Amino acid sequence: MRIRILRNPACLGALAALSLSPLTTGLASAATMAAEPAPACLVLNQSWRYAQAGNGCGVATAVKIVYQDGAEGACIVVRPDETPTIGEGYLGHHGRALYLALCQ
């Protein structure tokens, strides 16, 4: 029975399309979640418990954290020379923070 299914070109094409659909869906969703990285004067610090953003830019800037699982934190305005807590640490639900992103 198994050999007959694989010999039929229509069944083989359908099987290939079904097996590849999760891959293409994952790539499309990851591409839409990308956010513009913040400038280098904004520094991300993450410990096991908290994530903080240091602002050395000289102007208030709205940022959010982008985590390794694609999740994004809340948009928070960080004033110059401040380092507020803006998210969870790497033991939180989303794991490690990848970078700070600009937001509005």
- Examine the domain organization and report whether 96 and 49 are in the same domain: yes
- Examine the domain organization and report whether 49 and 88 are in the same domain: yes
User: What is the amino acid identity at position 9?
Assistant: P
- Examine the domain organization and report whether 21 and 65 are in the same domain: no
Structural domain includes residue 48: yes
pTM of the model: 0.65
Structural domain includes residue 83: yes
- Examine the domain organization and report whether 64 and 90 are in the same domain: yes
Structural domain includes residue 86: yes
Q: Please answer whether residues 5 and 11 qualify as being in contact, where contact means their C-beta atoms are separated by less than 8 angstroms.
A: yes
The predicted pLDDT at position 27 comes to 41
Structural domain includes residue 25: yes
- Examine the domain organization and report whether 48 and 19 are in the same domain: no
Structural domain includes residue 37: no
The predicted pLDDT at position 81 comes to 95
Q: Which domain does 94 fall in, by range?
A: 42-102
CA distances from 74 to 3, 5, 12 (A): 53, 50, 45
The predicted pLDDT at position 32 comes to 44
Query: How many independent structural domains does the chain possess?
Result: 2
The predicted pLDDT at position 35 comes to 86
Averaged over successive runs of 10 residues, the pLDDT of the chain (104 residues) comes to 50 47 43 76 96 96 96 96 94 94 94
CATH number for 84: 2.60.40.20
- Examine the domain organization and report whether 52 and 24 are in the same domain: no
Contacts of 13 (CB under 8 A, 6+ apart): none
Q: Which of 37, 72, 76, 38 is nearest to 57 (CA)?
A: 38
